[in-house]
Amino acid sequence: MNEDEQNHSALLIRVKNPAEPEELKPGDIIEIFRSSCQHWALYVGDQQAVHLITECEHFADGSPNPLAILSERVCVKKDWLEDVVRKDRYRVNNKHDETHPPLPLSKILWQTEELVGKEMPYSLSSQNCENFVMELRYGPEEEIKPGDLIEIFRSCYQHWGIYVGEGKVVHLAPECDRLANGAASVLAVLSDRAYVKKDWLETVVRNDQYRVNNKHDHTYPPLPLTKTLERAEELVGKEMPYNLTSHNCEHFVMELRYGIAMSDQVTEAIAVGTIGMMGVAAAMIRSAAKWRKHYNE
């Protein structure tokens, strides 16, 4: 490390908030606490960060210019992290990692470097420094449209719903879909009945990652949107048979969108032999439960 780099390291140690001890990694999003706002940057390694900056961000004496937020154009700059942070507190804040998987690191860094030096439009409400770094790390925000299939990544399986607009999804959920503490219940796969529910998207997703996945559009033309939405609404509140291998939540939404009940989860599980064991276990547990119920009566 040369003398210049040592000086940068020393200053970083003085500036860093002791309450945020995590080590910076390339691709991390940096939230910087200015006196009246948060500034955002993307760490690219070697103690450097890429961020948006306006020409009038500072006055001649180096103090921040509050009118900078009114600019309509900004420049993408790569600076030493300490020059971006100044004497303000900062922290790593990859706040959407739980719900939106980051892009591959190589892609994040490549597209970030490609933008350095470029001029870009700026808007405080929609094209600001936070929007800029979030798109670099997570990709453009995907607009969810009515009729889209939502794949939700639970701890040991994928749950599926169909988006019907206004922030809500229709999905097939067994009664024991959630434990008392709100966690997803593995026992849900053992149910033989389920209910069609209409819930807020965030309620169904919880803290899990999810994505729009209309994966069969290239092989099966979707049904007319009005037909799909009408059928989904008609089924809300209805009780339906549930079976892990033939009538699960994925079968349900695929039939709504394409008119064909299918589940790649089942196909893949059969290929590796896990579904057979799960099916046998489910049948045994259901049989035992029915016997106990009959015995108690």
Concerning whether 37 is annotated as a catalytic residue, the answer is no
Domain ranges of the chain: 28-138, 148-263
Q: Which of 51, 159, 247, 251 is catalytic?
A: 159
Edge-to-edge order in the sheet of strand 38-45: 89-92, 29-33, 38-45, 48-53, 73-80, 119-121
Concerning whether 249 is annotated as a catalytic residue, the answer is yes
What distance, in Å, lies between the first and last C-alpha atoms of the chain?
78
- Residue-wise pLDDT for 146-175, tens only, equals 999 999 888 778 899 999 998 899 999 887
Q: What is the mean pLDDT of residues 15-21?
A: 43
Give this prediction's pTM. 0.50
For domain 28-138, the CATH architecture is Alpha-Beta Complex (3.90)
Q: Which of 8, 39, 100, 171 is catalytic?
A: 171
- Residue-wise pLDDT for 180-208, tens only, equals 444 445 555 567 889 999 999 988 988 77
pLDDT at 209 over 80: no
For 148-263, CATH number out of 3.40.640.10, 3.30.2270.10, 3.90.1720.10, 1.10.3080.10 equals 3.90.1720.10
